[in-house]
Amino acid sequence: MRSLSEIETAVKRASKAAGFSWGNSEEIGKSIRQLELFGLPGVKNLNQYYTDKQKIKFEDLNLISEKNKPLLEAYCPIILGISFLDQIKLVENFEIIKFEKIAYPVIFLSFLSRASEISGKKIYAKLDQNEILLNLNVNICSSFFNQEFPEFVDKVEIKFLNNKDNFTEIEWNNLYKLAENTFVEESDSLKQAAAGAGLTDND
């Protein structure tokens, strides 16, 4: 089994050979490493993408808006992902971000996962009819289980989710009340020990 560091290094070098700058290649290496860590087919999809890239001129998207549509070919998931990271402060203020036609979307997901960590917010993504939740680069919850990630998706929607508790105030108060049973009641001996602390003359 290949180590994650070995995967990252090989991906970085392969990406440079595929025509990306060293800086972008490092970002690709980190992202594919993360996909493999989560058990998602990063290396497989990157291989297929680099094969297709030799005959298809995928489009770059450098400036992201709320609605994004390529002129002809599908968006490059790598340049799109790097642009998303670079513009995180802008895009996290959009209510919903829409894209049409993204090639090898699982590669783009790796960048979204890292964007979730940077923003400190969960990200909801919908790829055609499949829903995905990216949780601060800790895990990716997906409805893609037991099926292959598609090579292309036609419609993508992305939304940053505001942080909130998954429990009610009543549930929290009940739990906190139970926790109070572990609090140590201050006795007279504890008060005297605290009052005399530091008064012993050791000279």
pLDDT digits (tens, 9 = 90+) for 90-139: 999 999 999 999 999 999 999 999 999 999 999 999 999 889 999 998 88
CB 7 within 8 A of CB 24: no
What is the number of alpha carbons within 13 Å of residue 187 lying toward its C-beta? 4
Q: How confident is the model at residue 1 (pLDDT cuts 50, 70, 90)?
A: confident
Q: Is residue 199 part of a domain?
A: no
Q: Count up the domains in the chain and report the number.
A: 1
Q: Is residue 120 part of a domain?
A: yes
Residues 75-84 pLDDT 10s: 999 999 999 9
Q: Name the percent of the chain lying above pLDDT 70.
A: 88
Q: Is residue 192 part of a domain?
A: no
Q: Is residue 202 part of a domain?
A: no
Residue 37 above 80 pLDDT?
Answer: yes
What is the C-alpha to C-alpha distance for residues 5 and 137, in angstroms, rounded to an integer?
Answer: 17
DSSP secondary structure code for residue 150 in this structure: P
Q: Is residue 115 part of a domain?
A: yes
DSSP secondary structure code for residue 180 in this structure: G
Residues β-bridged to residue 134 = 123, 140
Q: Is residue 174 part of a domain?
A: no
Tokens of 165: 């508790």
Q: Is residue 176 part of a domain?
A: no
Range of the domain at 98: 4-161
